[in-house]
A and B are shown apart, each in its own frame.
Chain A
Amino acid sequence: MLEREDSPTASPPREGPAAVSAGAAASGDTSRSGFNRRDFLRGSGAAIAATAAATAAEDAVAEDKPATVVPAKAVEIKLNINGADHALKVEPRVTLLDALRNDLSLTGAKHVCDTTNCGACTVIVDGKPVFACARLAVECQGKKVTTVEGLTAGQNVDQVVAAFVKHDASQCGFCTPGFVVAVKAFLEANPKANLEQILKGLGGNLCRCGTYVGVQAAALECAGHGKEG
């Protein structure tokens, strides 16, 4: 798999609500809406109080008032994106992905899995591909961020984009920007990659429509192997 800065096992800890609790992980559910036992009993968060099953002691816990959530204050930061500086004010817990999409309307990187499993949010930070859903915006200050929007200059599109178009590597297109950026970063690190390397290297991106045949052909062409690979 294309080595991203943030692998599923080593993603940086995220602030507050997005963190998956040990309880949820132990129960086999590592979905984003994790909960801990205390939350579960209290019926707050993304959990339900199963009152029929609660014991007296647990009922006592259930009486607790929910903790007041006090997020860290928004801070002013500067991000360098596609060569331009952008000033914005975000809470420290805001991901790079949310800052790009919701603050800067750079919506090419998509919010799909939130768990570094699909690659739809792939962007390039200081030359390396990363999952923007697993990066905090504040961490990216002083770094150079390239998004899919940065691969186009006026009418000129990047070679990878052109190859994606030529080989019909998009259907619904929702995974496509992430795939384009992943291919771009992968080929920069492996400019002469063969088919086997491409199939391994692009394993971090998911497509539901099934555009992999086109993506393969596009990546092979960009690696100088032509259509037949």
Chain B
Amino acid sequence: MAERKFAWPARKDTTLIGREIPRIDAVEKCTGKAKYTADINTPGTLFCRLFTSDQLAHGKIKKIDTSAAEKIPGVRAVHLFKDVDDEVRWDGELIVAVAADRDDIAKDGVKAVIVEIEQLDQFVDEADLAAGEKAGRKQELGKKNDGDVDAAIKAAKAVHKGKYGIVTISHMCLEPHGAHCQWDGDKLDVHLSTQNVSGTGSQFAEALEIDAANVTVTANYEGGGFGSKFQADEWGVACAELSKKTGKPVRLMLDRATELKVGGTRPSAFAEITIAGDADGKITAWDSVHWGTAGVGGGGVDVTKLPYVFKFENQRAAQIGLACNVGPNRAWRAPPHPQLCALTMMPIDDLAAKLGMDSYDLFLKNLPQVSNGKEAVYADQMKIAAQAIDWKAKWHPHGKAPEKGPVKRGLGMAIHTWGGGPGACKCTVKVHPDGSVETFLGSQDIGTGTRTILAITLAETFGLPLSAVKVNLGSSKYPQSAASGGSITVGGVSGANRRAAQTALWQIFDKVAEKYKVAADGLVAKGEKILSGDKEVCTWKQAASLLGPMPLEVQGQGPAKDGLTSDTVGGVQMVDLSVDTETGVIRIHKFVCVQDCGLILDEMTAKSQVYGGMIMGVAYALTEERLMDNKTGRYINANLKDYALSRIGDIGELVAIMYQPDSEYERGVVGLGEPPVIAPGAAISNAVHNATGVRVPTIPLTPKRVLDALKGAKA
């Protein structure tokens, strides 16, 4: 018998893989049937509200009195996150939770809580390095130095020195962080809004000092996480404790303001950067110092990956952290690539202007200096993107827009990279004697389409329609799977399931071969039949019935180096936009992303990931930012009115082009969630630079920042 190998079917032989297939849970989501953690209403469920250090950034607790709150009819229990003499370190830190029969009564309870805090010195001005140093908040972090930067700058034909920045943003998950907890004796059932079904049960167990075997975590649906929902979190544990205390199920979801303040942020990065190049546009030197904050511990954007994508012969970079009284950072989709991309691609574009070069040509010229081996892919993608946006016809030198009026049009681009290799996954695939198929795995579908690509994987393998396959995920009682973050899920889960399904199919082929006296070698499962060459041997149902009375169960796992999955992608984004130089308002006309990601299982959900990344990118490029009041340390726009996300009319025409030569199909599945969100800030800023001839140094490019930059350039 020929050797049996794990592999995807040849591209020409697929029936489902790579097609545009609507997600299999779309009807549930579009009709309100999908139950999220925030929707769990088991009978008697209590509701919680939180007392936080709202409006106060740093202090020491002098008094906590919950007695009046506890006397309110309908208030069932309180939970203290802090004690007297504890410090509060940022606006929004949790102090007390109140559980009550109704949400409004819990709010009454919070109103009746008395907390006194002695105010301490606070510092939140993350953009101001000098002020941070003066306040004793500065940390010297990493440094690196390759080649001879000073000599290279001296010898360069063009040198550009500039200031750049990208501010802190919040995750702003529409379903806030939270949990619903219910005890049955010593067993705890947790519905958790999480990206980490398999990993959070033990966190609850440890905090509650109970056996991890007694905890079940469920997340059938999750209303957005973007990297911020990997943990049980103190509020999740509080929910379980309040449930224990009251003997009732309890739901605790963060309110909107608290969600913004403590539910996760993306660290800021501000920099002074010098970039130098020769007359042909080859970049010969990079010199940067950047600072910012990830919270009270300082930190920020890791210096080791700067400059981003490129590695220049002479490069020097240093990182400074500023310890600020702000809510803690969490992984924010593609951490910290959006910041690295912005800090790198803006100066590159500025160097092109200095040399009087077309930015496209300068990027192309420097592709031999990319550090991820994707030089040829980028060149190809740039060509495709340029064609889609009509770069050659529309390009004009920086600041030389032909428009006579105040509205100037411009082009910008940036390139990005991400790993996206497969995460750990175990699964059990079951083939029932009636021919139906299901899989069990402790992974989760966080809106990325995990259920759908798994159904495609199994249905393709067994030659079945999608409806014959059931995907069971979202429970910690299923075989464990990695958290969904960093674009590792699609490769991890599709690889493990393909392995299990192929193994099961081979066992069924052996039974078919024996029963029907055919060679097992040449058998194929397709169209609900088992075929030998073109000849039907039996139906799928007949084949499955050979299993006897019990289902066939096969465990799959990964990752494995068998060619089913791979890692590392490139990607190019180009933007065509207009800037109203009188109002500072930017209008995107067209925004193109060309993205590779190996073998695409579902073209429709893949494109949705790309569109989604681009739209999140437009938001953080144009409007989205955490606004802190430097004087008081307050997070002043912690609501959905003042924290401005993009709306449906703000995004322009988006074009997602999946880069899919056969070479991509052949390298197997690679994750896609992170890459498309990385470059929008840089590409949009570069387009504004091209339109106006002026660099708006800090992202987001709000009208005020645009007008300030234009004014500064005139002065």
Residues of A participating in the B interface, judged by any CB pair closer than 8 Å: 8, 16-18, 28-33, 35, 39-40, 42-53, 65-66, 69, 71, 91, 93-94, 98, 101-102, 105-115, 117-118, 120, 147-149, 151-152, 157, 161, 164-166, 168-177, 180, 198-200, 202-203, 205-216
Query: Which B residues are CB-close (under 8 A) to A147?
Result: 32
Tell me, in angstroms, the Cα distance from A69 to B604 when the chains sit together.
Answer: 53
Q: Which one of B33-41, B324-332, B397-405 is at the A interface?
A: B33-41
* Interface assignment of B560: CB less than 8 Å from any CB of chain A: no
- Partner among B62, B63, B68, B640 whose Cβ is within 8 Å of the Cβ of A66: B68
> 3 closest A-B pairs (Cβ-Cβ)?
A108-B32, A210-B615, A174-B223
| Contact between A206 and B107, CB atoms less than 8 A apart | no
Query: Which B residues are CB-close (under 8 A) to A206?
Result: 174, 640, 645, 647
Instruction: A93-B104, A170-B23 given; name 4 further pairs at CB < 8 Å.
Output: A32-B257, A94-B104, A169-B30, A209-B224
With contact pairs A66-B112, A102-B103, A212-B615 given, residues A172 and B224 touching in the complex (Cβ less than 8 Å): yes
| Contact between A172 and B114, CB atoms less than 8 A apart | no
Query: Which B residues are CB-close (under 8 A) to A115?
Result: 256, 639-641
With contact pairs A47-B55, A164-B30 given, residues A172 and B223 touching in the complex (Cβ less than 8 Å): yes
Number of A-B residue pairs with CB-CB distance less than 8 Å in the complex they form = 267
Query: Which B residues are CB-close (under 8 A) to A161?
Result: 27, 30-31
| Contact between B30 and A177, CB atoms less than 8 A apart | yes
Chain B residue with Cβ nearest A74: B102
With contact pairs A33-B257, A120-B174 given, residues A46 and B26 touching in the complex (Cβ less than 8 Å): no
**How many B residues face the partner with a CB closer than 8 A?**
86
Query: Which A residues are CB-close (under 8 A) to B117?
Result: 43, 48-51
- Partner among B47, B52, B72, B614 whose Cβ is within 8 Å of the Cβ of A69: B72
* Interface assignment of B710: CB less than 8 Å from any CB of chain A: no
* Interface assignment of B110: CB less than 8 Å from any CB of chain A: yes
Chain B residue with Cβ nearest A216: B648
| Contact between B605 and A17, CB atoms less than 8 A apart | no
| 8 Å CB interface, B488-543 against A | none
* Interface assignment of B585: CB less than 8 Å from any CB of chain A: no
Residues of B participating in the A interface, judged by any CB pair closer than 8 Å: 22-23, 25-36, 38-39, 41, 47, 51-56, 59, 62-63, 68, 72, 102-105, 107-108, 110-119, 172-175, 221-224, 226, 253, 255-257, 446-449, 604-605, 607-608, 611-616, 634, 636, 638-642, 645-649, 651, 654
Tell me, in angstroms, the Cα distance from A203 to B115 when the chains sit together.
Answer: 40
| Contact between A213 and B108, CB atoms less than 8 A apart | no
Query: Which A residues are CB-close (under 8 A) to B39?
Result: 101, 107
Tell me, in angstroms, the Cα distance from A10 to B605 when the chains sit together.
Answer: 39
| Contact between B30 and A48, CB atoms less than 8 A apart | no
Tell me, in angstroms, the Cα distance from A148 to B41 when the chains sit together.
Answer: 18
- Distance in Å from the Cβ of B281 to the closest Cβ of chain A? 34
For chain A, what secondary structure do more than half of its interface residues adopt (helix, strand, loop), or is it mixed?
A: loop
With contact pairs A165-B27, A210-B615 given, residues A113 and B639 touching in the complex (Cβ less than 8 Å): yes
- Distance in Å from the Cβ of A124 to the closest Cβ of chain B? 13
Chain B residue with Cβ nearest A200: B649
Chain A residue with Cβ nearest B53: A48
Tell me, in angstroms, the Cα distance from A148 to B29 when the chains sit together.
Answer: 10
Tell me, in angstroms, the Cα distance from A20 to B503 when the chains sit together.
Answer: 62
Tell me, in angstroms, the Cα distance from A48 to B174 when the chains sit together.
Answer: 27
Query: Which A residues are CB-close (under 8 A) to B257?
Result: 31-33
Tell me, in angstroms, the Cα distance from A46 to B222 when the chains sit together.
Answer: 28
- Partner among B22, B35, B36, B645 whose Cβ is within 8 Å of the Cβ of A208: B645
- Distance in Å from the Cβ of B548 to the closest Cβ of chain A? 34
Query: Which B residues are CB-close (under 8 A) to A118?
Result: 174, 640
| Contact between A210 and B611, CB atoms less than 8 A apart | yes
| Contact between B639 and A30, CB atoms less than 8 A apart | yes
| Contact between B224 and A174, CB atoms less than 8 A apart | yes
10 interchain pairs (CB within 8 A)?
Answer: A30-B639, A44-B111, A50-B119, A149-B32, A157-B31, A164-B30, A175-B174, A176-B29, A177-B31, A208-B226
| Contact between A114 and B256, CB atoms less than 8 A apart | yes
- Distance in Å from the Cβ of A109 to the closest Cβ of chain B? 7
- Distance in Å from the Cβ of B120 to the closest Cβ of chain A? 8
Query: Which A residues are CB-close (under 8 A) to B38?
Result: 107, 110-111
Tell me, in angstroms, the Cα distance from A222 to B30 when the chains sit together.
Answer: 15
- Partner among A47, A53, A117, A172 whose Cβ is within 8 Å of the Cβ of B640: A117
With contact pairs A31-B257, A49-B115, A118-B174 given, residues A164 and B26 touching in the complex (Cβ less than 8 Å): yes
Tell me, in angstroms, the Cα distance from A161 to B27 when the chains sit together.
Answer: 7
- Distance in Å from the Cβ of A145 to the closest Cβ of chain B? 14
Tell me, in angstroms, the Cα distance from A40 to B544 when the chains sit together.
Answer: 70
Query: Which B residues are CB-close (under 8 A) to A120?
Result: 174
With contact pairs A66-B68, A174-B224, A208-B172 given, residues A113 and B256 touching in the complex (Cβ less than 8 Å): yes
Chain A residue with Cβ nearest B260: A31
| Contact between B31 and A44, CB atoms less than 8 A apart | no
Chain B residue with Cβ nearest A111: B38
| Contact between B115 and A48, CB atoms less than 8 A apart | yes
- Distance in Å from the Cβ of B88 to the closest Cβ of chain A? 8
- Distance in Å from the Cβ of A66 to the closest Cβ of chain B? 5
| Contact between A208 and B224, CB atoms less than 8 A apart | yes
- Distance in Å from the Cβ of A220 to the closest Cβ of chain B? 12
Chain A residue with Cβ nearest B618: A210
Tell me, in angstroms, the Cα distance from A10 to B257 when the chains sit together.
Answer: 22
Query: Which B residues are CB-close (under 8 A) to A108?
Result: 31-33
Chain A residue with Cβ nearest B71: A68
> Residue among A30, A49, A91 with the most chain B CB within 10 A?
A49
Tell me, in angstroms, the Cα distance from A172 to B608 when the chains sit together.
Answer: 11
Tell me, in angstroms, the Cα distance from A164 to B224 when the chains sit together.
Answer: 18
| Contact between A172 and B221, CB atoms less than 8 A apart | yes
Tell me, in angstroms, the Cα distance from A115 to B253 when the chains sit together.
Answer: 17
| Contact between B30 and A17, CB atoms less than 8 A apart | no
Query: Which B residues are CB-close (under 8 A) to A40?
Result: 55
- Distance in Å from the Cβ of B614 to the closest Cβ of chain A? 7
| Contact between A165 and B26, CB atoms less than 8 A apart | yes
- Partner among A33, A71, A110, A152 whose Cβ is within 8 Å of the Cβ of B105: A71
Tell me, in angstroms, the Cα distance from A199 to B646 when the chains sit together.
Answer: 12
Chain A residue with Cβ nearest B655: A213
Chain A residue with Cβ nearest B28: A173
Chain A residue with Cβ nearest B174: A174
- Distance in Å from the Cβ of B228 to the closest Cβ of chain A? 11
| Contact between A66 and B604, CB atoms less than 8 A apart | no
Query: Which A residues are CB-close (under 8 A) to B110?
Result: 17, 45-46
With contact pairs A120-B174, A206-B647 given, residues A29 and B634 touching in the complex (Cβ less than 8 Å): yes
- Distance in Å from the Cβ of A90 to the closest Cβ of chain B? 8
Query: Which A residues are CB-close (under 8 A) to B36?
Result: 107, 110, 174
Tell me, in angstroms, the Cα distance from A112 to B643 when the chains sit together.
Answer: 13
